Structure 1
Amino acid sequence: MNAQAYSDVLQGVLRTCPSTGRVHSVFASSANLQFGERLVHLGTSRQGDLPYGVLLQDRQMIELLAMITLGEAVAWDKAAGTFRFASGLTVSLSGGVPFSSVPRSLSFSGEILRRNAACLIGQLAADGAVTGFGVNAEDAALCLFGLQEEPPDFFRLTGELKNVILSEDPIRIKQVLRKVIGRGQGLTPSGDDLLVGCLIGAVYGGTRCESFCHGLRELLLEEGRRLTTEVSQEYLLYALDNRFGSRIRRLADALFAGSPEELQSALQETLAVGHTSGIDTVMGLILWISLWMGEDSIG
């Protein structure tokens, strides 16, 4: 079968990996392949485009999931641009359209960002959304802006994270990151989703903090497999290269430069990601906004 589209950096990443891999994980409508320590996501437009993803048609995905098995051997044929499964199935990138996961460059005004941030928090409060940290979204946002200190565990954790994002102290950065990476449940734990949200906020806001990013990358490469899941580590490594899934990019586009209606639509799409991955990533964006705004009012 021929893929519809694929990440424009995927083949470059695969060149650094062993050519023989395995089926890493299988879900209801997608699957991950593993080559060495890197992953490839096979999915459909339902999941959006991911920075390490290959997009298939819905019917192709159904066929693929019926044929592959967990742990099955799969080879990457670099010359042909094709994944070859032990079952005989092939997935070719030939003819597929490469896509970029890098956020588009845009200018934003502080006034629009403040307005949209207030709308975002109001919508989360109205929805009664609950984060993977067990804190409802309204309380979490108030904590991030320093307007309340309850619940204390979340207030302390996010306060420490905010302090080291702008830090130049590599030891302290890693100390705090060890408390955040892998915190929570699921394929992408809540702490990791929070970091992804912070990172995309920094990219859009033009405030990427190199010491923090360097410390996060080092920690993931040295201790990532011990601290978190392989899937989550993959997301974070791509986020450090300024590459993100299409749903969170769409939300950030709307938050920084869109209308309240665009923001609401993009938020609902993001919240549909995983059990709490969407809301936890949104909290990371709000954390970055609270840093950017400082003592300014959100309203």
Structure 2
Amino acid sequence: MNNCTLFGEDYSYLVPLLLYKNENGHVHSRFSNGFNIKMGDSLVFIGNNKNGLLPFGIHLRKEATLSAVSSVNNGDSVTWNRRTNSIELPGVTISIEKGNSFKNELTTLKSATIFKDSFERFCLQLNEIEDQTGLDASFKEFLNKFHAAGEQKWLGTEPYLIMLIEAAMSSDEGLIEKVLRYFLGRGQGLTPSGDDMIVGLLAFDAVSHFLSTAFYEKVSELIEGESITTDVAREYLRYALKQEYSSNVSDMVNALASGDASNFEKILDDLLGVGHSSGLDTVLGILIGMLVYRNLRIRTETN
């Protein structure tokens, strides 16, 4: 019997439709700041907004999150009650009846001048970061090599980052598949570093539109057709392919696309603070996206 009802403060506008389609499921994964439930083939996150407002999230206050997490176990049965707009588990009920629906909107890159200013601002900030990404890449070293004249000795993951830039500039399905197979599922944790990076790349494309249809189709084909990565990473990628992102990611690419520098450092810090290295890896993906966009502009201007 349920021992208490907790109320979600905010929920993604996409969640109710998903729950109406899949009314029964189970607790998939549980951690300190919340838990995922699996409904059909989809995940819903229930927990705090420490990592931003998620496109598949129901967000609770801090105290309610602690209570919810302590009341569930992996594998617990989950039922959506459409009459009461609530998710029923053996130890707790989560209601969205009083919550606010949200959508993390995206803007569009305004101009070449804004891109140039945002790119310079972004690179200046990234040069200050000492931490390595989850793929052991250094922002400073990679940017220095990328901008230096002449041939470079690319080390570790760097040759694959260069290959990703080439793949993102093309419609070559073989090249795209090769580089995606390298990154998808690569790294530790619920969302491996390579997947977080691809999410970041897709996020910058969502505001600037440079990737080929072939790139999107190949990501979808790999994550849906194979067990190439984790369930949680696949969920983030599924939403990214529909241009739906966490508020931390959308705030970052919106700031870059609009040229709004007022909260730039805080927005970047908020994203960098996500997970053990998820934020760093996502930021690397956004940087790759900006480098691709810059290269394509240079190519267009010189032809």
TM-score calculated relative to the size of structure 1: 0.90
Cα RMSD after superposing both structures: 2.0
Instruction: Decide whether aligned partners of structure 1 residues 178 and 146 sit closer, same or farther in structure 2, where only a CA change above 3 A counts.
Output: farther
Correspondence for 2:46: 42
Give the 5 Å matches for 1:203-282: 203-223=206-226, 226-282=227-283
**Structure-to-structure mapping, 1:8-23, within 5 angstroms:** 8-17=13-22, 19-23=23-27
Is this contact kept in 1: 2:216–2:241, CA < 8 A?
Answer: yes
Paired residues of 1:26 and 1:70 also in contact (CA < 8 A): yes
CA distance in 2, matches of 1:150, 1:264: 32
Instruction: Provide closer, same or farther for how the CA distance between residues 127 and 152 of structure 1 changes in structure 2, counting only shifts above 3 A.
Output: closer
Q: How far apart are the structure 2 equivalents of 1:146 and 1:192?
A: 28
Alignment of 1:56 onto 2:68: no
Between the aligned residues of both structures, percent identity stands at: 28
Per the alignment, in what secondary structure is the counterpart of residue 110 of structure 2? Answer: coil
Of residues 66-75 and 228-237 in structure 1, the stretch that sits farther from structure 2 once superposed is 66-75
Letter in 1 for 2:156: D
Report the CA distance between 1:109 and its aligned residue.
Answer: 2.4
Q: Which of 130, 133, 138 does residue 131 from structure 1 map onto?
A: 133
Q: 1:266: how far off? A: 0.8
- Correspondent of 1:155 among 149, 155, 158: 158
Task: Quote the Cα distance in structure 1 between the aligned partners of 2:47 and 2:294.
Answer: 37
1:138 is matched by which residue type in structure 2? K
Indicate the larger mover: 240-249 or 25-34: 25-34
User: What residue is the counterpart of 2:178 in the other structure?
Assistant: 175
Q: Secondary structure at the match of 2:117?
A: helix
Q: What is the deviation of 1:107?
A: 4.3
1:189 corresponding residue in structure 2: 192
Unaligned runs of 5+ in 2: 1-5, 299-303
Per-residue deviation at 1:37? 2.1
Could you tell me which runs of 5 or more consecutive residues in structure 1 were left unpaired when the two chains were aligned: none
Cα deviation 1:40-95 (Å, max 9, x = unaligned): 101223232101000112221121122112221111223432110022x1111222
What one-letter code is carried by the residue in structure 1 that aligns with 2:266? S
How far apart in 1 are the matches of 2:262 and 2:191? Answer: 28
**Residues 75 and 84 in structure 1, CA contact (< 8 A), matched pair in contact too:** yes
Give the 3 Å change call, closer, same or farther, for CA 5–193 of structure 1 in structure 2.
Answer: same
Would you say 1:122 and 2:127 are equivalent positions? no
Matched-pair contact (CA < 8 Å) for 1:135–1:151: no
Equivalent AA in structure 1 for residue 223 of structure 2:
L
Structure 1 residue aligned with 2:301 = none
Q: What is the alpha-carbon distance in structure 2 between the residues aligned to residue 281 and residue 288 of structure 1?
A: 11
Paired AA for residue 257 in structure 2: F
Please report the TM-score for the alignment, with normalisation by the length of structure 2. 0.89
